[in-house]
Structure 1
Amino acid sequence: MERRVTLQDVAERAGTSRTTAHYVLTGRDREMRIGEDTRRRVLRAANELRYRPDLMARGLRTQVTRTIALIADAVASEAYAGDLVAGALAATAARGYLLFVCETGEDAELEEALVEELLARHVDAFLYATYFTRDVVVPAALRDQRVALLNCRAPGLPSVVPDEVGAGRTAAEALLSAGYRDGIWLVGEPAPHVVASVERLRGIEEALTAAGVRAAGTVPCAWWPESAFERFGALLDDGQEPAAVICANDRVAMGVYQALAVRGRRVPDDLAVVSFDDSDLAVWLHPALTSVALPHRELAAIAVDLLLGEGGPPPGEHRVPMPLRRRESVAVRG
């Protein structure tokens, strides 16, 4: 195995002391009044020897390793939430940090072991994330660390979450502004234990009430295409004629599209459709689906900024707006 190049090797190649080489390679040459010729010799020697600083050893001395750990339930393997990881990677790299990504699979013992291993490696800070927004219990070992919660919440800890209430208002207002005031149905089973379900429904009701409008009804179905296809199809077969629907997510919207298609009906001519999440499905469907986006990359970037800010992340819940992606699934009513 090839021996690691050390700072002493660089100093000997450059003909300087180890201390001088250290000051040059840490950007303190001007502060220490090191001459330009010496600085160049050190940099040339480091380049020729392909010197890489031992960041772990430096971290043990300074207690700063410039590393962050992302501990998540299923974010890394769940393609739907992959942008959380991508956003965190980009934000940490922009600040000169390295990101460890650890997935627990909701295994409490594995989570505890990972936290202990990361603490032993002197990680500077922690992001604790979930692939869908929910309330969590954070490992006790993290509570006295610099930590921010990403896409989840826990009492007393700083968290960054999507503004699902605002998203509900946005979805309803997309239909109201296009002229829809009656025949608006909600598709998707209300789930009291799911933050997105509760808060999106609250936002929808707030917007409709403010406009003096009431939803025509709810089609209770699982948040998957098959269930939406069956239950919404049954609604149509019972003789109901919805003018517009707000779907719990894009997967539900896909089931609604299919139920309409097999009955010879078209979006948006016969029915306007608005949804949530702005997943890949939204642009694959034909016509393309109007959907309120989950800003995963922005959530992660904000969480990293808060985590690394001076004094640590401020307490409380930080809500990130969810933008509307307008597409062809909503036609303006004449």
Structure 2
Amino acid sequence: MTRPTLSDVAKRAGMSTAAASLILNDRPSRLSAEAAERVRRAADELGYRPNLAARSLRTRSQSIGFVSDYITTSGVGGQLIHGAMLEARKTGHVVLIIETEHDSFIPQALGSSVMQHLEPIDESVAVNALLDRLSEGIIYAAIRSQPVVVPEAAKSVPVVLLNVTSSDDLACSVLPDEYSGGRSVAELLADNGFKDKIALIGSTEARITDASATATVTRRLKGIFSVMGEREMSFSAQVDCPVWDTPSGYAAVSGLLESKLPFDALLCLNDRLAFGAYQALAEAGLSVPKDVSVVSFDDDPLASHLRPQLTTCALPFEEMGQLAVRLLLDPEAEKREYLVEMPLRQRDSVCKKKS
């Protein structure tokens, strides 16, 4: 009779090989008591005995698992992975990346045409694939900050949430400091003399209390409106855009121009909206920043190539990726939310308001 393997036990218990190994070797994990009982029962039923020779040869894998949605195919988001790889190299680790391309994670700006060419990978399958390769921990990331449910299998190893949130308090989470970022953009406008003829492009104040809004949108808006109140500023218009892309920014600003609503500054909630705003202003014969100042968020790679160069509050994705790896490899890291400062890239699209 063929000797049953650890893989046989894991398959019978419905667990990953790595998770089964943790349980049978009495190693610390966050797997449930029910999962542990399932594995031990499967081992007893199969008559499994550990291969001591193989165990003596086993070493740490020096690998970190990275589960994401569309990060490798996005311009800015790739910095999350780059930062993680840079930090991992310092300790001799490699980063194993699996893109799930899951429908629920597809950013709206990519549209349905992308979905037609994808076969999503279930997150649990991705996690188990990484655990089977003995990854020492898993970074669970997404291109758009949103709440996620961490697969149960991932809890057998250290987990860090990167640019996502979760109700699970067993993991560290790394997020951009959106509230402070919102404040810095609004303060920039205030410091340049803008008080009332300002148009908000992308959302409205009502989204702050909208339960469906992501943490990114809510915190960014809270930061903006906190300064608006403190500095006695007001928006002449607030335009909600369900999709934050270039055509939406173009349509929003074109609509404002047609309505004759006064504005001499645009606060766009991301760079793609600002790209569209530039197009609409140019078609109307208006100059940035001479006629209208423009400021936004993200620091898309194209932002510095516009003319004039776009002033924007950067998403610190590379620094976030680095921090995620440090937390993952630190057994003493406190399981809480870690915020990374969003630096303001002051370029040429904002100038002093004419008196």
TM-score bucket of the superposed structures, by smaller chain: 0.7 to 0.9
In the aligned structure 2, how far is the partner of 1:109 from the partner of 1:254?
Answer: 33
Q: Which runs of 5+ in 1 are unaligned?
A: 1-56
Q: Does 1:316 align with 2:312?
A: no
Shift of 1:256: 0.9
Q: Which stretch of structure 1 is more off in the superposition, 63-72 or 169-178?
A: 63-72
Shift of 1:196: 2.1
TM-score normalised per structure 2: 0.74
The percentage of aligned residue pairs carrying the same residue is 35
CA contact (8 A) 1:189 1:223 kept: no
CA contact (8 A) 1:146 1:307 kept: yes
Match of 1:132 in 2: 144
In the aligned structure 2, how far is the partner of 1:76 from the partner of 1:167?
Answer: 25
Larger Rg: 1
Q: Does 1:121 align with 2:125?
A: no
Structure 1 residues 59 and 307: alpha-carbon distance in aligned structure 2, compared to 1, 3 A threshold: farther
Match of 1:329 in 2: 349
Cα deviation, 1:174-196, whole Å, max 9, x if unaligned, reads 11111111211100135643332
Specify the SS of the correspondent of 1:128.
strand
Aligned length: 277
In the aligned structure 1, how far is the partner of 2:352 from the partner of 2:56?
Answer: 63
Shift of 1:248: 1.2
In the aligned structure 1, how far is the partner of 2:54 from the partner of 2:202?
Answer: 53
Letter in 2 for 1:122: L
- Which of 178, 194, 207 is residue 164 of structure 1 equivalent to? 178
Could you say what the CA RMSD is over the residues aligned between the two structures, in angstroms? 1.9
In the aligned structure 1, how far is the partner of 2:288 from the partner of 2:255?
Answer: 18
Structure 1 residues 265 and 316: alpha-carbon distance in aligned structure 2, compared to 1, 3 A threshold: same
CA contact (8 A) 1:277 1:293 kept: yes
How do residues 142-291 of structure 1 correspond to structure 2 at under 5 angstroms?
142-155=154-167, 156=169, 157-190=171-204, 192-221=212-241, 222-291=243-312
CA contact (8 A) 1:251 1:281 kept: no
Match of 2:122 in 1: 110
Shift of 1:220: 2.1
CA contact (8 A) 1:71 1:129 kept: yes
In the aligned structure 2, how far is the partner of 1:102 from the partner of 1:60?
Answer: 30
Shift of 1:219: 1.7
Q: Does 1:100 align with 2:105?
A: no
Q: Which runs of 5+ in 2 are unaligned?
A: 1-52, 104-119
Structure 1 residues 316 and 282: alpha-carbon distance in aligned structure 2, compared to 1, 3 A threshold: same
CA contact (8 A) 1:278 1:294 kept: yes
Letter in 1 for 2:85: L
Letter in 1 for 2:233: V
Match of 1:24 in 2: none
Letter in 2 for 1:127: I
Letter in 2 for 1:105: E
